[in-house]
Structures are given as C-alpha cells and as structure tokens.
A and B are shown apart, each in its own frame.
Chain A
Amino acid sequence: MELFKTTPKINFLAQTWIAVAVSLIMLAGSVYIWIKRGNDKYGIDFRGGYAVTVKINEPTNSQVIERALTAHDLRDVAVQSFEATSGEYMVRVALSEGVDIKWIQEKVQRTLKDLFDDRFEIVATDSIGATIGAEVKRKALWAISFGLAAVLIYLAFRFPFSFGLGAVVAMFHDVIIATGMYLWAGRDLNGAALAAALTIIGYSVNDTIVIFDRVREFMLKRKNYNLAELMNESMNSCLSRTIITSGLTWLAALALLIFGGGALRDLMIYLVAGIIVGCYSTIYIACPVVLWWEGRWSELKAVGQGRKAAV
C-alpha cells in the first residue's frame, strides 16, 4: 500500500507569505492569551493554594470527589487519598483571582454535603506553597536554555549554521503557539504542561531535522541549485513519511485525549496542538529562516513566481 504512486510536486513554499502572516497572528494571539490570563494561568503546581483535608465515612474514591468539585466551579483541583482504610482525602485547590480560603472551604463543604450528606468532616485547611517554586522554575529555565544551546551546537557540527537556527526558531514558534492553544482551551499551566512543552520541543526539532537531512543530501548531490526549490523537493519526497509519522502520533495522542483522564488530558491537549504546529513550522518557519539567513530569499520569490507547480 502506498500513499503516493509517484513523488508529489507540491509547491509548499509558494504560500510562505500567507503562512508567515498566519504564524504572526497565531503568535500574537498566544501572547495575548498569555497576558490576558495573567496570574490566573498558573495552576496549583506553580503558585500554590490551599489543601483541605477531609474525612469521609463512606466508601468512595478520589475521582468522584474531584469531578464533583470541578462541577462546583473549583478550578484546578487535585484529590489524593491517604491510606485506603482511613477515608481521609486531601483536596488541593489552586489559588485564583478573587478566591479566598473561606470561599474554598465553603465550596468544598457544600459539594461534599451534596455527595455524602452528613457523613463527612473537614479535618484541616492549610495554605500550601508551590511545588514548582521559584528555584525549580529558575533551574528549569536554565536547563531548557542550555538544552537549546546543545541543540544548536550539535546541529552546527552536522549542518550549516542557518539550519540549526531555523530548527530552533521553529521550535520556539511551536512551543509558543501550542502553549497559547492550551491556555485558550482553558487549561492551567502545571507540571503536566511543562512535560508536554518539553515533548513538543523534542517533536518539533525531530520533524525539522528529518526534512533538513534530505535537503542536505540534495545539496551535496547537486552543484547548482535553487535552495528554495530543493526544500520543496525534500518536503515532497518526505511527504508520505511526514503524513504517516505525524498522522499516527497525532491519532494516538487524540485517542489518549479522548479516553485518558486528568493530567493525561492536559498533556495530550498540548501534544495534539503541538504535533500539527510542529509539521507546519518545519515547512513555513524553519525553511524560510534558513533562506533568509543564507541570503537566498530571492530564490523563494523565483519559486513562487516561476512554475505554478501542479498540486
């Protein structure tokens, strides 16, 4: 079975200007959402909140409690059971705008009353600090920055410098937009989102390198070439690979998004958005950056105006 009988000849780069415009709008939108959601976008892992310890004298499980609390407007709730026999649960609630400890306690009280009538008690309420505190955040930022530097250095050995630059710019583009979509979907930044962002970085770079590998191969084979056209060719000859790999991973992520629950869902929202942006950015961000850095921008125009390639 094959997707394409012959190598397709799609002129991807002809739409570069439209794509750049779309990307800029998406980037601006992501930044807008980031700013608009203010402090509210950080979940409990980042800014702490309250821990309400409750004792329930009836068999139940943390999922039931969590769902009920979420239905009662409590955002970013995590419920954890203590030893199974004790019937004690710890409800962690994020601090958010206009919410204080009294309000949270009242909400928990009312929700549990609906669920268990009188067969529960609130044992203790404490304020809790962030699990991803300032120090972890600072460390994470350094780690990611140096990680990117490592990517650039490795790529500089294996590819012309502009390729590494293109891969890294595309990766920033992907992380920003995927984060924007994630926030737009109303989710809060938490530990799972951090893990997802790292995954997107890996995914995006991987996708870009596979295409660039093909471009490099073509560059070595030929003496005179139009770089933009080589990129088009590379994308076309890798097209079935891109569709299969990205399609499969995207479908798998979608399956997990639909059937998985809780923090897994947060991870997958990110991935579902990120995989699509990751493929798109290889073509429309990474390649144009290379052309621009190499001073071959004019070749792009030549491709655009030249043959109106068959689609």
Chain B
Amino acid sequence: MEKNVRQRLIVFLVVLIAAILFLLPTFFREGFVKPWISKPLSLGLDLKGGVYLVYEVVTSEAVKSRLLNIVQTIRSDLRDEKIATTKAVVNDKNQMEITLLSVRAVDKARDKIKDAYPNLIFVEQLNEGERVKLVYRISEGEAQRIEHESVRQAVETLRNRVDQFGVAEPLIQQVGLKRILLEMPGISDIESVKKIVGKTAKLEFRLVPVGRAEAAENWVKLKDRSGAPVYVEDQALMTGDAVDTARVGTHNGQVEVDLSLTSDGARTFKKITSENVGRQLAIILDNVVYSSPVIRETIGGGRASITGGFTFEEATQLAMVLRAGALPAPLEVMEERTVGPTLGRESIRQGVIASIVGFVLIMIFMIVYYGKSGALASGSLVLNLFLLLAALSAFGATLTLPGLAGLALTAGMAVDSNVIIFERIRDEIKNGAGRMAAVRGGFDKAWSAIIDSNLTTLASALVLYVLGSGPIRGFAVTLSIGIATTIYCAVFVTHLGFDVLELKGKERELSV
C-alpha cells in the first residue's frame, strides 16, 4: 500500500513538474525565448488580435489558365480528328488562338469546335499562307463565372492551408468581389504566413524537348531555381490535381518532397513514364523548373518526388502547400497589418473577472459542503485547469472563445466528477462502511459514471476535431485535452489525496 502510494506520488510530481515547465514561458513571457521547450500559450484573434492580411485574387489569371486548359483539349480533340495544329495559345486579350497547318481543314475544325464547345464565341480567322489561325473567346458571363468561382475556390484553399497551421483559429472572409481578408491570431511571423498561404502552388509535369530548343513553336522557355533558362513543352502532362498527399523525405542525404498520387494520378503517371522512357520530365512549380530527371523506366505505384536542393524548412512548407491544393489564381497582398481583438479588451477583462468569481464561488461551496474533501476537490480542480493550459501550450494551441467554451465544459464536468465521487462515498458511509472502505467503494462505484460520460464526450470531441474546421476545432481541442486532465485529476489525484491522508493516519480528520 505504502509503496503504491509512493509510486503514484512520483507520477503526480513528474506530471506537475512537466506542466510547470510547459507553462513557464506563458507566465514569464520575456525571460524565455527560443531555446525553451514550449512557446507561450497564444491567445486567439478574438481574444488578442493578430496578423491581418488582405489579398486580391488575380482572377484574370484564373480565366487565362482555364482558357489554356480548354485550348489544349481542343488541340488534342482536333488531333483525334486527324487535323494537324502547330500552336494553341491564349493571347493578351484572353482570346484563344489555334493555328492549323492546312487551310483545307478549316471548315471541319470549326464545325468540330462548334459542336464540342457551344459556349465559345468565334472571333476571327486569320490566313497566314498555308496556315490558318482561328481565334475564339468566351462570353463575358462565362468569364465572370470563372472569376467568381476562382475567388470562392481561393477562399477554400486558403482555409485548408491555414488549417495546416494547426489549431490557430483564423478568420477568412471574402471582401468585395475579388478580395479575401485573412486574420491569423497568435502568429507573429507574417512572412512565413505569406509564404505558405500566398503561394499559388501550381504544380506541373512537362516533358523537356529533345534537340535544339529554340526551333519549335510548342516549346516555352522557363527558368530553373538558379535563374538559368530551361525549355519545356507547352503542354502539361499532369498537374497538382493528381497529388493526394505530400510529405518531406530524404534520399541520399538530400531533402525532398515525396508525393503520393491519387489513383487517377497514378494511372496518368504510369502512362507518361511508360511512353517517354529516356526523356526528361520537368517538375515545375509556379513556373519555376525544380528538377528535370530522366525517366529511366515505367513508374507504377503512384509515387513521385520533387528534389531541388531544398532546405528542410522549404520542403516542409512545400509539402504543406501541396497537401492543401493549388490556388486557382495567384494572390496579391493588398494590405498587411496587426489588429486588436474582436471581443474588445474591456469585455475580455470583465469575462476574466467573472470567470474567477464563478470559480471561487464553486470552490467555496465545495469546501463548505464537503469539508476537507471539498478542499481536496478544489485543489484538484485548480490543478485540472493548470494541466489543461499546460497541455494546450505543449501542443502549441491557441486559446479562443470556442476554446474557452470547451474549458467551461471541462470545468463543469470536473466538478461533476468530484461531486459524483463524494456523493458515492457518502452513500457508502450511510450504508455503514468504515471511512477508508467508503472512500475505496465510492471511487470504485463512481468510476463507471465518470468514465462513460467523459469517454462519450471524448468520442464526439475527437470526431469534431477531425472533421470540423475553424471554431469547431478550437472547441474540440480544448475539450479533448480537458477530458484527459479531468479523468486524471478527479480519479487519480483526488484518490491519491485520500490515500496520503490515510497513510498519515489522519483519516479521522477527513470529512466528506
């Protein structure tokens, strides 16, 4: 018995010390900087304010890339019809130009395009000797629809990316027609936010042409990471849509980003590699060629990797961005600054005071009603919140209003656990059990109620965390951690308290 108590005391002290270590940076912000084990617990934007960014979606780029897509499918459709084309581009006026090799195919090509793409509007036909250039555009309405869609999609992508930062509770809001407002609490490094959030992340796989580059018309000139020109084909064989997830890996001591492809992507990649053995495949991100390895054999299995002399941090950021998906169009930063809390400092101050008052009232009641055990319970309640905050800062979580709601629910359930235990102990005493036997019986009988109610809540909190976003996640994080600390405090610590008093022979003084 005695040894058992000693072991449990050691566990208790270890947990306590760890919690204190995790919370030290929060309480003494100035003295602890980088080398410390945890960052200070950060408050959410609603409680503290934070980084404020306004982006504008360059929607014309979204339209353009959509048009490029269309023009390339037209080209391959025409190829299927045995109509030869040399070039398919989108010009500055956002018109699609398709150049046919032969005048004779014009009527057939125009009919074909008219049938397959009724939305396209024919602009003009330019004869250049034997060749013919057909010019098409899309309607204003269609262009607008693409623009709207791209902004909506950009908002979703931003949300995905920001979610990758973890539990920070961001505000992402469309402002006006093309702008997106982003507020990120608890983040001081605005540059890294911009790097991850604002990156277009358009990933493409294109073949590198064989032979003299300048000669052909369907080749384009891009740059590699050192700025040297690289020629690649103008048509992307595969894009970032094919990527399922991305993570950082190492190969021969080099940091790389490993991609695992979707099932469709894997099929496409296998086809590309089997048809082009011996050629170079350029991996292009935001129009910069990262690497262009030679395809040595057919690659099945849906795996690919991007190398290119990354630092570990660059690779991590790249993997994050690729996981969240590409933006439909580039973003431009219109405004960046810091903002104050949504809740207002005054209302936060009032809230803190009110919470403390409520908390103290609960503790006073527990002590009056249950005597010394009540004091023990109050102690374990304080410890509970302390551990909860420590765990939150260990996870680098951000405390927000929904987080506080989770905290309030935790406090309520912690009080409940203690009350359930004490009422059970009283029942045992009423049934004639001796004091320490009553304590043991009380804990045993209370166990199932406490574990069932907490685990049920935990089950739903975990689901909320996995599936929810924004405010729902903030709530779920505090609640999940809170349940763990509640079970630990109510069952382990309070019980330990009783046992320690018993060992010291003071059980007679213990009131329940």
Chain A contacts to B: CB under 8 angstroms: 1-2, 48, 51, 61-63, 66, 78-84, 90, 126-133, 135-136, 139-140, 142-144, 146-151, 153-155, 158-159, 191-192, 194-196, 198-199, 201-203, 205-206, 209-210, 213-214, 216-217, 237-238, 240-241, 244-245, 248-249, 251-253, 255-256, 258-264, 267, 271
A/B pair count, beta carbons within 8 Å: 243
B116 within 8 A of A: no
Question: Is A150's CB under 8 angstroms from B173's CB?
Answer: no
Q: From B232-240, B325-333, B346-354, give the one contacting chain A.
A: B346-354
Residues A151 and B357 in contact in the complex (CB < 8 Å), given A80-B339, A129-B175, A267-B401:
no
Chain A residues with Cβ below 8 Å from B156 are 135
Chain A residues with Cβ below 8 Å from B468 are 139-140, 143
Residues A132 and B471 in contact in the complex (CB < 8 Å), given A78-B342, A259-B357:
yes
Given A147-B463, A191-B402, A202-B409, list of 4 further CB < 8 A pairs? A128-B173, A132-B471, A191-B401, A245-B412
CA distance A3 to B430 in the complex (A): 14
Question: Is A127's CB under 8 angstroms from B423's CB?
Answer: no
Selected from B346, B413, B464, the residue in CB contact (under 8 A) with A147 is B464
CA distance A133 to B180 in the complex (A): 13
**Interchain nearest-CB distance for B172 vs A (Å):** 7
Chain B residues with Cβ below 8 Å from A263 are 46, 342-343, 347, 401
Selected from B357, B370, B452, B463, the residue in CB contact (under 8 A) with A143 is B463
Chain B residues with Cβ below 8 Å from A140 are 468-469, 472
Question: Is A255's CB under 8 angstroms from B358's CB?
Answer: yes
The A-contacting residues of B in range 341-390, CB under 8 angstroms, are 341-347, 350-351, 353-355, 357-359, 361-362, 365, 368-371
Question: Is B462's CB under 8 angstroms from A213's CB?
Answer: no
Chain A residues with Cβ below 8 Å from B171 are 131
CA distance A249 to B366 in the complex (A): 12
Question: Is B460's CB under 8 angstroms from A150's CB?
Answer: yes
Chain B residues with Cβ below 8 Å from A66 are 344
CA distance A198 to B463 in the complex (A): 12
Question: Is B463's CB under 8 angstroms from A146's CB?
Answer: yes
Selected from B338, B344, B470, the residue in CB contact (under 8 A) with A132 is B470
B228 within 8 A of A: no
Question: Is A61's CB under 8 angstroms from B472's CB?
Answer: no
Question: Is A210's CB under 8 angstroms from B453's CB?
Answer: yes
Selected from B52, B354, B423, B452, the residue in CB contact (under 8 A) with A241 is B423
Chain B contacts to A: CB under 8 angstroms: 46, 49, 52, 155-156, 159, 171-176, 179, 181, 337-347, 350-351, 353-355, 357-359, 361-362, 365, 368-371, 401-402, 405-406, 408-409, 411-413, 415-416, 419-420, 423, 426-427, 445, 448-449, 452-453, 455-457, 459-464, 466-472, 474-475, 479
Chain B residues with Cβ below 8 Å from A253 are 358, 408
**Interchain nearest-CB distance for A194 vs B (Å):** 6
Q: Which residue of A lies closest to B171 (CB)?
A: A131
Selected from B181, B344, B459, B463, the residue in CB contact (under 8 A) with A79 is B344
Chain B residues with Cβ below 8 Å from A191 are 401-402, 471
CA distance A218 to B460 in the complex (A): 27
Q: List 7 A-B contacts (CB under 8 A).
A: A155-B456, A205-B457, A209-B453, A210-B453, A249-B412, A252-B408, A263-B401
The majority secondary structure among interface residues of chain B is helix
Chain B residues with Cβ below 8 Å from A261 are 344, 346-347, 350-351
Chain B residues with Cβ below 8 Å from A249 are 411-412, 415
Question: Is B351's CB under 8 angstroms from A256's CB?
Answer: yes
Question: Is A198's CB under 8 angstroms from B457's CB?
Answer: no
Question: Is B456's CB under 8 angstroms from A260's CB?
Answer: no
Question: Is B471's CB under 8 angstroms from A256's CB?
Answer: no
CA distance A259 to B349 in the complex (A): 10
Q: Which residue of A lies closest to B465 (CB)?
A: A143
**Interchain nearest-CB distance for A204 vs B (Å):** 11
Question: Is A260's CB under 8 angstroms from B460's CB?
Answer: no
Question: Is B343's CB under 8 angstroms from A264's CB?
Answer: yes
CA distance A57 to B157 in the complex (A): 38
Question: Is A81's CB under 8 angstroms from B457's CB?
Answer: no
CA distance A249 to B339 in the complex (A): 34
Chain B residues with Cβ below 8 Å from A80 are 49, 339-342
Question: Is B346's CB under 8 angstroms from A259's CB?
Answer: no
CA distance A250 to B337 in the complex (A): 40
Chain B residues with Cβ below 8 Å from A256 are 351, 354-355, 358
Chain A residues with Cβ below 8 Å from B406 are 195, 199
Residues A130 and B173 in contact in the complex (CB < 8 Å), given A202-B479, A241-B423:
yes
Chain B residues with Cβ below 8 Å from A131 are 171-173, 470
CA distance A62 to B361 in the complex (A): 31
Chain A residues with Cβ below 8 Å from B172 are 131
Question: Is A139's CB under 8 angstroms from B354's CB?
Answer: no
CA distance A185 to B156 in the complex (A): 34
CA distance A80 to B345 in the complex (A): 10
Chain B residues with Cβ below 8 Å from A149 are 463
Q: Which residue of B lies closest to A245 (CB)?
A: B416
CA distance A144 to B370 in the complex (A): 38
Chain A residues with Cβ below 8 Å from B179 are 126
CA distance A73 to B315 in the complex (A): 52
**Interchain nearest-CB distance for A269 vs B (Å):** 13
Question: Is B413's CB under 8 angstroms from A206's CB?
Answer: yes
